[in-house]
Amino acid sequence: MHDEKHIINNNVAYGLLQIGAASYFDMGVADEQPYDPISYGQSDTLTVTFSVPPGNLSAVTRFDVRDAHLEDVLSVGHPFEVVAFQGSDTKMWGEPIENFSLKPGLHDPPAVITVAYDETDIAGRDADKLRLYRQTLSGWEDATCAGYRVQRFPDDGVIAVPVCQTGTFVLSDEALRSFVYLPAVFRSH
């Protein structure tokens, strides 16, 4: 019998775990599938699905769909973010691309974010007023791509929103307020 010893290396560092999903999308499959989805469940009853048209991409792209760590935001489920990465080598993706365009051309279809929820997820909220908001430099704005409509399926607990850019998103039935924190200036005597 061979006795195996396990050595524990206490010098190994561990990173913070991100809750979400990531996938690589190849623009070469555009003829085979008009949309390529990536999903993650925020809970047993709430699922966020991001569907991107591969034909809109100029290179192989990695998308991460993950929880956004925001406080004091009234939302259905957790705030979440869609982050895009591109690179020439899949092992070296570089920095995330801020506000990555998901609809680069006039005739390109937008990407779609679908949120499937249960009655318990929206308790006390109006399903007919649910909107997806995107955080911008000037605050929370309606995330719906200009010229497109939100599709609501309240009986099935689903909302589908066409989006044109990556970013941080929340689903809510009320307009979100943004707070601008100004620096405090003191004058000493």
Mean pLDDT within 2-7: 50
3-class secondary structure per residue, 96-121: CECCCECCCCCCCCCEEEEEECCHHH
Residue 116 has pLDDT above 60, yes or no: yes
pTM: 0.78
Tokens matching residue 43: 């809970």
- Beta carbons of 55 and 30 less than 8 angstroms apart: yes
User: Strand pairing partners for 133?
Assistant: 142, 170
CB neighbour list of residue 99: distance below 8 Å, 6 or more residues apart? 165, 166, 167
Residue 10 has pLDDT above 50, yes or no: no
- Beta carbons of 82 and 97 less than 8 angstroms apart: no
Q: How confident is the model at residue 19 (pLDDT cuts 50, 70, 90)?
A: low
Sheet hosting strand 139-142, strand order edge to edge: 20-25, 61-67, 80-86, 167-172, 131-136, 139-142
Task: Name the range with the highest mean pLDDT among 16-25, 54-63, 94-103, 159-168.
Answer: 159-168
The number of helix segments (H) and strand segments (E) in the chain equals 0, 11
Torsion of CA 115, 121, 125, 126, to 10 degrees: 40
Strand 139-142 relative to strand 151-153, pairing: unpaired
- Beta carbons of 38 and 11 less than 8 angstroms apart: no
Residue 32 has pLDDT above 60, yes or no: yes
Tokens matching residue 107: 């005739």
CA distances from 189 to 9, 14, 114, 183, 186 (A): 56, 49, 57, 19, 10
